[in-house]
């Protein structure tokens, strides 16, 4: 098959410019050449970006505490409280679903630390990631789409660094209104072309993209809201945990001059998103106000935090001091290799809490009680 960029150029030449979200969906999820759907596993040390669970197993280990707390709130007993590991499994038991689970680096330590028995599932767009997850989860529990999950369940859904990848439309502030940028063709390349704004895009930009300077770019995140709504529909009672980079609509103001749309490749900022579709990650800063608004509108309650505070509250700092003591003991009379292992576990955990790095990520907990 011809390269994705050539196919897109031909499609646009024949049928006209396409909305940016359609371009982004093709670049990330085209069955042949999409960044996530082509062969490689992306979220690993040798891949294109490094996420919290890839930095440290203590990320998943700490989130286990969150899941235990949420499930005890729903009266699912932990093993210590009398549940047998098999006892609550199955459709009657608590569900734990990770969406965009990548290599399984979050699920693995989470499931080994978790005290409450769960029926664990993963939703993953990438075939190579699904293969890796097949080694961790029971047969049939690794699916491609939210729609492939059981229709209703109680439990927890986790999405770490998923929503920043969901396709966005591009709105540009023009006077006291908005225009949109679609993807067209000029000479042999793809270019952004101005078009009249679609009503739903203008409406979202007006609600969550102001104030913006004239010519400022706003990524319109309708797909992220639709994802949250679809996830909420599945949950009878429980919580959805969204962790990502981004901020409130108010705090994103300064990022509306150039916008936050960018690409990553091999751990560095990559070329313009239109240059090499399928070859780079395409991502934006998540507008958490829009998600909070969506969740509240659907009757859910929300809690919004920074990642450093969230992990600290779940006991990560105490775990780090335990490691520090362990390291000191090993320095006195232990195995030096073991000591180095303990030290790297501790320094990796520090990375998760770094106030200008991963610690600055945002955490949204959306809870439903029915």
Ligand X SMILES: C[S@@+](CC[C@H](N)C(=O)[O-])C[C@H]1O[C@@H](n2cnc3c(N)ncnc32)[C@H](O)[C@@H]1O
Residue 124 or 180: the one with the smaller Cβ distance to ligand X is 124
Q: Give me the residue whose beta carbon is nearest to ligand X.
A: 100
* Residue ranges that bind ligand X, judged by CB under 6 A: 36, 42-43, 49, 51, 53-54, 99-102, 105-106, 123-126, 129, 160-162, 165
Are 93 and 119 spatial neighbours (Cβ–Cβ below 8 Å)?
yes
Provide the minimum distance between the beta carbon of 53 and ligand X in the complex, in angstroms, as a whole number: 5
Nearer to ligand X, 43 or 326 (CB): 43
Smallest distance from ligand X to CB 103, Å: 7
Nearest alpha carbon to residue 242 among 230, 259, 224: 224
Query: Distances from the Cα of 221 to the Cαs of 30, 90, 194, 285, 297, in angstroms?
Result: 20, 35, 19, 10, 16
Least distance between ligand X and beta carbon 9 (Å)? 24
Closer residue to ligand X (CB): 51 or 326? 51
Min. distance of Cβ 321 from ligand X in angstroms? Answer: 26
Contacts of 321 (CB under 8 A, 6+ apart): none
Integer CA distances (angstroms), 23 to 58, 179, 187, 292, in order: 36, 18, 18, 27
Tokens encoding 285: 């800063």
Q: Which is nearer to ligand X, 36 or 153 (CB)?
A: 36
Beta strands in 187-339 (DSSP E): 189-196, 217-220, 235-244, 246-247, 262-265, 268-269, 281-283, 286-287, 301-306
Minimum gap (Å) between residue 124 Cβ and ligand X: 5
Tokens 């908005």, residue? 178
Measured CA to CA, the distance from residue 38 to residue 28 in angstroms comes to 9
- The CB-of-87 to ligand X minimum distance in angstroms stands at 29
Q: C-beta of 133: minimal distance to ligand X in Å? A: 10
Q: State the distance between the two ends of the chain, measured CA to CA, in whole angstroms.
A: 49
Rounded Cα distance, 190 and 211, in Å: 29
* Nearest residue (CB) to ligand X, 93 versus 278: 278
149 versus 172: smaller Cβ distance to ligand X:
149
- Residue closer to ligand X by CB (options 178, 361) is 361
To the nearest whole angstrom, how small is the minimum distance from the Cβ of residue 42 to ligand X? 6
Query: What are the residues facing 268 on neighbouring strands?
Result: 265
Q: Closest Cα partner for 236 from 154, 151, 308, 350?
A: 154
Q: Which is nearer to ligand X, 101 or 249 (CB)?
A: 101
CA distances from 358 to 274, 302, 366 (A): 28, 21, 21
């Amino acid at each position: 098959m011809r390269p994705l960029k050539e196919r897109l150029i031909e499609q646009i030449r024949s049928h006209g410019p396409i909305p940016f979200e359609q371009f982004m969906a093709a670049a990330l999820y085209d069955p042949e050449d999409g960044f996530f759907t082509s062969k490689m596993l992306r979220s690993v040390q040798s891949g294109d970006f490094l996420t919290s669970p890839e930095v440290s197993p203590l990320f998943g280990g700490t989130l286990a505490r969150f899941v235990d707390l949420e499930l005890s709130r729903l009266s699912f007993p932990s093993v210590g409280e009398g549940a047998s590991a098999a006892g609550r499994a199955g459709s009657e038991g608590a569900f734990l679903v990770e969406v965009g689970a990548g290599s399984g680096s979050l699920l693995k330590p989470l499931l080994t630390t978790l005290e409450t028995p769960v029926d664990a599932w993963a939703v993953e767009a990438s075939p190579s990631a699904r293969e890796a997850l097949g080694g961790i989860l029971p047969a049939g529990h690794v699916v491609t789409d939210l729609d492939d999950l059981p229709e209703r369940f109680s439990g927890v859904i986790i999405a770490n660094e998923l929503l920043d990848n969901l396709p966005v439309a591009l709105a540009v502030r023009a006077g006291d209104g908005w225009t949109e940028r679609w993807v067209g063709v000029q000479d042999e390349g793809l270019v952004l072309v101005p078009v009249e704004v679609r009503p739903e895009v203008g409406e979202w930009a007006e609600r969550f993209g102001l104030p913006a300077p004239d010519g400022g770019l706003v990524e319109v995140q309708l797909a992220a809201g639709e994802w949250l709504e679809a996830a909420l529909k599945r949950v009878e009672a429980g919580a959805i945990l969204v962790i990502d980079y981004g901020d409130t609509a108010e705090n994103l103001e300064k990022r509306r001059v150039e916008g936050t749309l960018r690409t990553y490749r091999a751990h560095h900022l990559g070329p313009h998103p239109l240059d090499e579709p399928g070859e780079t990650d395409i991502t934006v800063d998540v507008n958490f106000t829009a998600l909070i608004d969506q969740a509240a509108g659907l009757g859910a309650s929300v809690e919004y935090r920074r990642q450093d505070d969230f992990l600290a509250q779940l006991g990560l700092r105490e775990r780090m001091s335990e490691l520090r003591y362990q390291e000191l003991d090993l320095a006195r009379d232990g195995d030096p290799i073991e000591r180095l292992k303990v030290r790297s576990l501790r320094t990796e955990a520090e990375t998760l809490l770094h106030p200008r790095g991963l610690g600055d990520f945002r955490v949204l907990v959306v809870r439903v009680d029915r």
